A = this chain, B = another copy of it.
Amino acid sequence: MQTVRIALGERGYDIHIGAALLGQPQLIAGVLPHPRAAIVSNATVAPLYLEPLREALHAARVDVVPVVLPDGEAHKNWNTLQLVFDALLANRCDRQTTVIALGGGVVGDIAGFAAATYQRGIPFIQIPTTLLAQVDSSVGGKTGINHPLGKNMIGAFHQPLVVIADIDTLRTLPDRELRAGIAEVIKHGAIRDAALFGWLEDNMAALLARDPVALAHVVRRSVEIKSDVVARDERETGSRALLNFGHTFGHAIETAMGYGEWLHGEAVAAGMVMAGDLSCRLGKLDSEGRDRLRALVQRAGLPVSLPPGLEPDRIRALMNVDKKAKAGRIRLILLESLGSSTIVADTPEDALQATLTAAAPR
């Protein structure tokens, strides 16, 4: 087991990474303020991991309330959140009860937001069971739900007590979701770590084959990179925005298609290729860097262009409502080289249009 400490002062916490961690209930029981927890999971993950975890916690004398939600981004809304509140209240959970999210990013976001707002905030633990959640969404304290007019528009910052990334849970992950998680790993390399980017170019086959050493490596490096960025800017007022590389394009794609058509990581993958293209058009990134980024995304089996039938103008319009927009202006994250990124507040409209046009599927 490897442990990465997230340095956020009194809100700091550990991320444990390794195999067979779900069989070590003391990792959870040891940090609970009171031996009572609500495990929030979904209909896909619960049959695989909820009952063993519950038994392990029960053996550690922790009282467990299970809450099973419907699966999918389409359910990341108020109605599903309400199911968590209903269960917490029906079971008379008080402020000493800890919410444990067992699942992917959607479960983590909903359960985390429930924990952030139930009785104005109760403790929270993340057990991410997808690569995307292990390398990205379980780190940084962002929680929330979608609004019909925009993704993640309602939410809160709420840091967990501990994050437990059990590599074994990735064995049951569908291939498509594995690749979607790799998109965020590529992102971490692209914005901050040329060595990780190069490692991915050399080891993509092992990663796609779920080699445990490769998986543990990308989870640990991703967590280190993301947590370093988050520690410098917990509330996303400045440099944390670098983590949104590819996301302004990606969110627009997801909104245009309707949540759930493409996975988040797939939309981000196409968004990163577009952001790389735009970086090149603006003279920030050389064409070799642009091409290497596109090639790596493609080797991971991820999309490199807009989905068929989506007009560039529609994507352009949707980029305006993104949270990253500041006082009406679009802020984009662009690359200066593979491993180095920057925030650009005023993107020239003609270059943006050219990138969107070039991103149409061929």
Contacts and interface: CB of A to CB of B under 8 A. Distances in A.
Interface in A89-112: 89-90, 92, 94-96
Interface in A155-169: 155-157
A325 interface: yes
Given A78-B78, A147-B89, A321-B89, A96 B326 contact: yes
A121 B235 contact: yes
B156 A116 contact: yes
A85 B118 contact: no
A78 B90 CA distance: 18
A152 B119 CA distance: 7
B85 A154 contact: yes
A328 interface: yes
Report the interface size class on chain A.
Answer: 35 or more
Contacts of A120: 142-144, 152, 155-157, 236
Nearest to A143: B120
Nearest to A157: B120
The prevalent SS among residues of A at the interface is: mixed
A26 interface: no
13 contacts: A36-B327, A86-B149, A90-B149, A92-B328, A94-B328, A96-B326, A117-B117, A117-B144, A117-B155, A117-B156, A119-B154, A120-B236, A121-B156
Interface of A: 34, 36, 78, 82, 85-86, 89-90, 92, 94-96, 113, 116-121, 142-144, 147, 149-150, 152-157, 235-236, 320-321, 323, 325-328
Given A96-B327, A118-B153, A120-B156, 17 more contacts: A85-B154, A86-B149, A89-B150, A89-B153, A89-B321, A92-B321, A94-B325, A95-B323, A117-B117, A117-B154, A117-B155, A117-B156, A119-B155, A119-B323, A120-B144, A120-B152, A121-B157
